[in-house]
Chain A
Amino acid sequence: MATNRGDQSFRPYRHLKTLTEHESAVSCVKFSNDGSLLASASLDKTLILWSSASLSLLHRLVGHSEGISDLAWSSDSHYICSASDDRTLRIWDATGGDCVKILRGHTDAVFCVNFNPQSSYIVSGSFDESIKVWDVKTGKCVHTINGHSMPVTSVHYNREGALIISASHDGSCKIWDSKTGSLLKTLIEDKSPAVSFAKFSPNGKFILAATLNDTLKLWNYGSGKFLKIYSGHVNRVYCITSTFSVTNGKYIVSGSEDRCVYIWDLQQKNMVQKLEGHTDTVISVTCHPTENKIASAGLAGDRTVRVWVQDS
């Protein structure tokens, strides 16, 4: 479907490769910030590091005693942090594949995690309804924020690392000052539907938030109003991650419970492509920072990571 901008029409993504090394549902995939590595986390308690160019398996990170829900890369692509149902977070060295630190403190499964842009802090959200900020160097918890009344589904730092956004099953989406841990703004306050995912845009001015009523919204958090709605996918049960694709035009990419990856044009809000191939809910998607590449992860009925590229 051609866009109105006139310079080029959307070139569809095609399936490149299926990676089948996980033994259980894959919960998260993320490209490293320098684009050289792809990491995937799974309910089989391991993480796998793949080379982003050759898509060959480089390391399998073993250590967690329960399944892993989320992972995050440090800005220099040296460290990975994983959040697991065993109530801990682990920091792994991406070059050697060893676990360098274990962060303990949550009292229930840790669901989401992210580094700040300076990679000196890690923020994590958990089923124990709290958000914890950890100092990377020492591994100590420097803040515990008890701002939600149900499991925290998503946490993200903004571009300067001064704000943290958190989303929760209690239907709220809140913005916190990362230095003091105090609440700065509440974006959404309805009791339902649950907010399953929230993240800042690359320039930190907008927030992409997913709610469990098949909707994705782009908010201007300064004014507290949403600017765009994206729909057409199915999202009622799982905390599906979505992301911005900016390497070749501006798009929103998201997984869906109907086993497809959806791509919408950011401005026009129309769906430009639906990638089919997974055999179960697509729970996580990630875009390569410089190339036109998307990786997606499927749940237990699928257990694969699929990589899609755009022909040039």
Chain B
Amino acid sequence: MNAPIIDPLQGDFPEVIEEYLEHGCMKCIAFNRRGTLLAAGCNDGSCIIWDFETRGIAKELRDNECMSPITCVSWSKCGHRILVSAADKSLSLWDVMSGKRITRIVLQQTPLQARLHPGSSKPSLCLACPLSCAPMIVDLNTGNTTLLKVSISEISNNGPTSASRNKCADGITSFSPTAACFSKYGNLVYVGNSKGEILVINYINIEVRAVVPIPGGSVVKNIVFSRNGQYILTNSNDRIIRIYENLLPLKDEVRALDELNENLNDLHDVEKLKAVGSKCLTLFREFQDSITKVHWKAPCFSGDGEWVVGGSASKGEHKIYIWDRVGHLVKILEGPKEAIIDLAWHPVRPIVVSVSLNGIVYIWAKDYTENWSAFAPDFKELEENEEYVEREDEFDLIPETEKVKGSDVNEDDEVDIVTVEKDPAFSDSDMSEEELCFLPATPTCDAPEQPDKFVESSSKLMDSNNSGSPLSEEAGPIEHTVNHNSSPVEDDAGGIRIKRKRRPSEKVLELQAEKMKKPSKSSK
């Protein structure tokens, strides 16, 4: 994009809290495809859409029928639709631009996770993972739900049991959620079950095509694909995050599975599924904190798949671990002492957004440093000291010759001022429809106009015979006129957003956390 003069962003990860967003009590977050908008589901059933550039609220999706906490938000690929699942067992599909609800479906159980189909721009299918039964595909147009199988034993029973309870490894029935996600283009669904297996399911015919057993066999809590579809991670109850490499081709998965099936015709049933599975995914790395053995919460990949981020699930601490894909722990981000409930990495930039237990969204970004070579055209930054040997006549005074700043560029070359290069991060933009990148900002109207104080202040000073000195009465406009300060104006209306705090110390963060607990004014 701006590659020539901005440092390349490859291999970067956030370091400090840049800002925090506060509006009600937010529970879950999701970026849109380009990372220009951040949707946050709140405790009161509404969904706030933040403009991520200005850090202001762009839209509020609120409807009277849903007052219970939102459990998950999911954007459609084109950015025009948002799917919201709530604790009152409902799924609502909203149109972002108009802020209107398109449809609402009530399920039998509360969906803990809901994902819109990633393949189409106006998806009508979604994947919902309820609390206590198998994940299902919901058709948003008709309301039909199709349960997916969660264990291989069900295959031999010919069909899923209607209220299948997940059994833990030790056989005790428990209502542990099953994790599921779509593959990159939505052709397959990958389900992680309580036996520690990944099932690859073709949801169109509800057929399990492959099985990948995870070493250790413990309950899978999360299963997430990277943005480019090449890696998948699983978060298991044994406190290990595992990265698998996806061996199937990204677009033709079903056909590749068919081929694999043919090749392994001599095996049957479970054996065959496991064999196919070993050709679909291969274990790449395992991450765990071997010292504290902490459970992980909301792990995910960075936008380019180079980094993996996971939050510590321990209450009372806000720790975010960042590993590079090879497995080295590169950073632990520590925030104010509240548990993390959700985490997301920006699709393009080295920014991580985390939601704390008390509903505040923290934005973590790189700490920027001034680039001193920017201050003059011929300044250059050197990596290290260089020996410089000057020319024989470099410092001679030659009064006659004019210093001609000749350009060594061929002035007759064609210059192209209109072609725009496609952003490599979004190579699969084959949208037939315009993608929603940002919501238009409407300026909030000023209070009815008072006569311009700058011009009339002198006459006002003479006329005023109110109590208080004329100087203090005119403190407003005079303040403006002598405001030569160069610091950015801080928003002082109730501390809604504090800008650019560099590395707040622990004490300051604690003080801020204290302030949050006091009733804060609701923002505009």
Contact = CB atoms under 8 A, between A and B. Distances in A.
A139 B444 contact: yes
Nearest to B477: A104
Interface stretch (A20-28, A158-166, A276-284): A158-166
A308 interface: no
B481 A185 contact: no
A225 B443 CA distance: 39
Interface stretch (A53-61, A201-209, A253-261, A285-293): A201-209
A95 interface: no
B440 A76 contact: yes
Contacts of B488: 141-144, 181
A228 interface: yes
Interface stretch (B71-79, B405-413, B465-473): B405-413
Contact of A162 (B1, B377, B438, B486): B1
Given A76-B440, A138-B56, A138-B524, A107 B484 contact: yes
B479 to A, nearest CB: 10
B371 interface: yes
Given A101-B446, A143-B488, A266-B415, A162 B2 contact: yes
Q: Is the interface of A mostly helix, strand, loop or mixed?
A: loop
A195 B441 CA distance: 32
A175 B419 contact: no
B489 A105 contact: yes
Interface in A222-236: 222-229
Interface in B363-378: 368, 370-371, 374-378
A241 B469 CA distance: 47
A118 B446 contact: no
Contact of B446 (A121, A139, A184, A201): A139
A159 B420 contact: yes
Given A65-B455, A105-B480, A139-B443, A144 B487 contact: yes
B6 interface: yes
Contact of A267 (B371, B415, B449, B484): B415
Interface string A168-210: 0000000101011111111111000000000001111110000
A176 B455 CA distance: 33
A102 B371 contact: no
B418 A246 contact: yes
Nearest to A130: B486
B441 A204 contact: no
Nearest to B452: A65
Contacts of B407: 225-227
Interface centre among A141, A146, A184 (most CB of B within 10 A): A184
Mostly, the B contact residues are loop
A222 B5 contact: yes
A203 B2 contact: no
A71 B486 CA distance: 25
Interface string A141-162: 1111110000000000011111
A100 interface: yes
Given A135-B54, A140-B491, A100 B443 contact: yes
B54 A137 contact: yes
Given A65-B455, A183-B370, A222-B4, A118 B441 contact: yes
B375 to A, nearest CB: 6
A73 interface: no
A36 to B, nearest CB: 17
A120 B1 contact: no
A271 B2 CA distance: 32
A146 B414 CA distance: 36
A253 to B, nearest CB: 13
Contacts of B3: 222
B170 interface: no
A269 B441 contact: no
A186 B446 contact: no
Nearest to A66: B455
Interface of A: 63, 65, 74-76, 78-79, 86-88, 91, 99-102, 104-105, 107, 118-121, 128, 130, 135-146, 158-163, 175, 177, 179-189, 201-206, 218, 221-229, 244, 246, 250, 266-267, 269
Given A144-B487, A227-B411, 17 more contacts: A78-B440, A99-B446, A107-B484, A120-B438, A137-B443, A137-B444, A138-B444, A143-B488, A144-B485, A145-B486, A175-B374, A181-B488, A183-B370, A184-B374, A206-B417, A221-B5, A267-B414
Query: Which 3 residue pairs are nearest across A and B when measured between Cβ atoms?
Result: A222-B4, A201-B417, A120-B441
17 contacts: A91-B443, A101-B443, A102-B449, A105-B480, A118-B438, A139-B443, A142-B488, A144-B489, A162-B1, A177-B6, A184-B5, A185-B374, A186-B375, A203-B416, A222-B5, A225-B408, A227-B415
